[in-house]
Amino acid sequence: MTPDYSRFLSDVMTAAGLLSHGKRDKALANSLSEFCVAERMRMDAPCRAAPLEGAEPVSQPNTLRDGYCIMPMKLTAENGAKGALSGEFSETKFINCPECFGDDECETCDGSGRIEISVPVSWTTIKEIWAKGVEHFAAAPKQEVK
């Protein structure tokens, strides 16, 4: 096992521990994501280097309207979306204070009995939101002019 891979596994364990306690570390998440992207690029390099069989040069490039770009129809780990978007979005939730349950004067919740936590939006929810956006903005088929 390489030192880089060993560090990656250690970072994954640290991130899992933080998440299990409702905490997150953006720098650690970015580090993990960068390592995964670099590994993926390294593994895909032979495929990108091989020429496309039977491919012909493009004579008329497709153009997009201003303000538009080409995006994948679905988000997957394989297209890099999971690494890029996981941990980017969160919701604020209120939970009962685990220290006092609202019964005492408490430094954690200032006696309110509730604390505010930030909960990451699940990967499933991110994909559902993306799919709805794709459905809404999908290009309609070109109409034939008669």
The more confident residue out of 86 and 41 is 86
Whether residue 4 sits in one domain with residue 68 = no
pLDDT digits (tens, 9 = 90+) for 21-40: 777 777 777 777 787 777 77
Residue range(s) defining the domain that contains residue 108 = 62-146
Cα-based distances in Å from 5 to 1, 36, 38, 105? 6, 10, 12, 47
Residue 132 predicted with pLDDT over 80: yes
In a domain, 125, yes or no: yes
In a domain, 70, yes or no: yes
Distance of alpha carbon 95 from alpha carbon 102, whole angstroms? 11
**CA atoms within 13 A of residue 104's CA, in its CB half-sphere:** 7
Range name among 42-46, 91-95, 110-114 with the lowest pLDDT average: 42-46
Q: Please answer whether residues 96 and 113 qualify as being in contact, where contact means their C-beta atoms are separated by less than 8 angstroms.
A: yes
Whether residue 71 sits in one domain with residue 44 = no
Whether residue 71 sits in one domain with residue 45 = no
Mean pLDDT (the chain) is 78
Whether residue 44 sits in one domain with residue 66 = no
Identify which of 115, 118, 111 has the alpha carbon closest to the alpha carbon of residue 97: 115
Count structural domains, the chain: 2
In a domain, 130, yes or no: yes
The pLDDT of residue 50 is: 56
In a domain, 57, yes or no: no
Q: Please answer whether residues 95 and 77 qualify as being in contact, where contact means their C-beta atoms are separated by less than 8 angstroms.
A: no
> With a threshold of 0.75, does the pTM exceed it?
no
Whether residue 71 sits in one domain with residue 119 = yes
